[in-house]
Chains A and B, each alone.
Chain A
Amino acid sequence: MISEIKKYCRELLDSKKVDAIIGVSEEEGQWMPFLFTESSQLDKLFVDKKYPLMTTSKPMKENILSYIQRKHPGMKLAIVARGCDERAIFELVKRGQVKLENLEIIGYACDRRQAETCTCPTPHPTKNLKFGEKAEGVKEHKLAAEFDKMSLEEKSRFWHKQFSKCIKCYGCRNACPVCFCKTCLMEAHFYTQPGELPVEYPTFHFVQRYHHAAQCIECGECELACPMDIPLRLMSQPLLRQTKELYDYVPGMDPEQECPLFTIKQERAEEASDELF
């Protein structure tokens, strides 16, 4: 697969269809995001392991794509993307962080092993799959069956136990590709003073999860990042199930589909038909 992707990228660059390609490069065992502008650089292109390409870099307060789009408006770009990268791009598009104009998404599928590592339900791009075969995704969190059976009291105890481990490293937030606010509520001074521990469970974790209620693309980065092995996504899954049921909305699937928390079009349409207005 990698040689095909490289070949395709080489063509894109040589024919000047795009000015640059965003991807991951490997040099001396180190991976990093890289802007490929010459086809000779493409030997370094790396796709074997997952790399959170769309994550907002916290010092820069921007993700790589929006940074380049802002610095070089009009530049024709392509990005080598996995399923989760594509979904992150779509969610960020809805929130005005990146643009789809002058952007080609070169999508490739992950294999089943990768999907299992991330517990990813859709391990392939949905709109721009170009390379590789669709593998089957992992639909449920490994603890979901057990968790769903718990009573309220057991759930409460479960989370108290889990979150008593939390060291407030902000890793879950930092790793999340759809988290992009420049001023994070988890750092807001009325909750947290610099140099102090953030507020206790559940407010801290509630903020982090609630903000992704209809936005989480189930990439699994938060859980992979958490040094304390807290099953964070168990908290998001019921919310995602609910937005699917109520509004038939799955984050990251379609850049045109509006987030149900931003729009009330549906109600308006229903009421118009009731001639309420």
Chain B
Amino acid sequence: MSDKGFEPRIVAFLCNWCSYTGADLAGTSRLKYPANVRTIRVMCSGRIDPLFIISALQKGADGVLIGGCHIGDCHYQKGNYSARRRAAITETMLESLGIDPRRFRLEWVSASEGPKYAEVITDFTRQIKELGPNPLKKGAAK
């Protein structure tokens, strides 16, 4: 299915305290990573309603990433635990709808992990490229 020269569009919801700062650090350290990510800053990974994920996919994102603080480090104590539980359910939900759950990823990136952020984005972008464009986008039911 993979189109030649396909550049995926990835929506990343990053938590303000860790992942967003981590992304910032990756930038200020001049690390190279693919420019396929549109970042949306949220206060906590626990803010992400699974609905955001499905809406993003429906409105044309090829992949959705959630970045949060490491377990135990959430600034609101338990936001990322909830995020993790919801992510598990979201994956099952996506799968039972016939959407490849690999289009969605939850990662822990701390404020000091600029290199990890770059790595995550590189890897995720590669994976989405392999998966090809999101079939939902075309409203594709053949």
Contact between chains at A261 and B97 (CB < 8 Å): no
Bound form: Cα–Cα A203–B139 in Å: 12
Which interface class (under 10, 10 to 19, 20 to 34, 35 or more) fits B?
20 to 34
Q: Are A206 and B51 in contact (CB under 8 A)?
A: yes
Shortest distance between the CB of A183 and any CB in chain B (Å): 14
CB neighbours (8 Å) of A276 from chain B are 72
Q: Are B85 and A209 in contact (CB under 8 A)?
A: no
Instruction: Tell me, yes or no, whether A61 is within 8 Å of chain B by CB.
Output: no
Interface string of A156-171 (1 = CB under 8 A from B): 1111110010000000
Complex CA distance for A210 and B90, rounded to whole angstroms: 8
Contact yes or no, A235 B96, CB < 8 A: yes
CB distance from A267 to the nearest CB of B (A): 5
Report if B99 contacts A (CB, 8 A).
yes
A64 to chain B, nearest CB (A): 30
Chain A residue numbers with a CB within 8 Å of B93 are 206, 209-210, 213, 235, 238-239
Within 8 A of B (CB), among A136-189: 150, 152-161, 164, 185
A264 engages B51 (CB within 8 Å): no
Q: How far is the CA of A152 from the CA of B135 in the complex (A)?
A: 11
Q: Which of B78, B81, B97, B139 contacts A159 (CB 8 A)?
A: B97
Choose among B86, B97, B139 the residue that contacts A155 (Cβ–Cβ < 8 A). B97
In the complex, chain B residues whose CB is within 8 Å of the CB of A235: 93, 96-97
Set of chain B residues within 8 Å of A160, measured between Cβ atoms = 141
We find that the number of chain A residues with CB closer than 8 angstroms to chain B is 38
**Other-chain contact of A260, B51, B85, B90 (Cβ < 8 Å):** B85
Cβ-defined contact, A239 with B92, below 8 A: yes
Chain A residues near B136: list those with CB within 8 A.
Answer: 202
**Which listed residue, A203, A237, A271, touches B58 by the CB 8 Å rule?**
A203
27 contacts between A and B (CB under 8 A): A153-B98, A155-B95, A155-B96, A156-B99, A156-B141, A158-B98, A159-B97, A164-B141, A185-B51, A202-B54, A202-B58, A202-B99, A206-B50, A206-B51, A210-B51, A210-B93, A235-B96, A235-B97, A238-B92, A239-B89, A239-B92, A239-B96, A242-B88, A242-B92, A261-B86, A261-B89, A276-B72
Closest 3 CB pairs of A and B: A156-B98, A155-B98, A160-B141
Taking Cβ atoms with an 8 Å cutoff, the residues of B that contact A are 50-51, 54-55, 58, 71-72, 78, 81-82, 85-86, 88-90, 92-93, 95-100, 135-136, 139, 141-142
Contact residues of A with B, CB < 8 Å? 150, 152-161, 164, 185, 199-200, 202-203, 206-207, 209-210, 213-214, 234-235, 237-239, 242-243, 246, 260-261, 264, 267, 271, 276-277
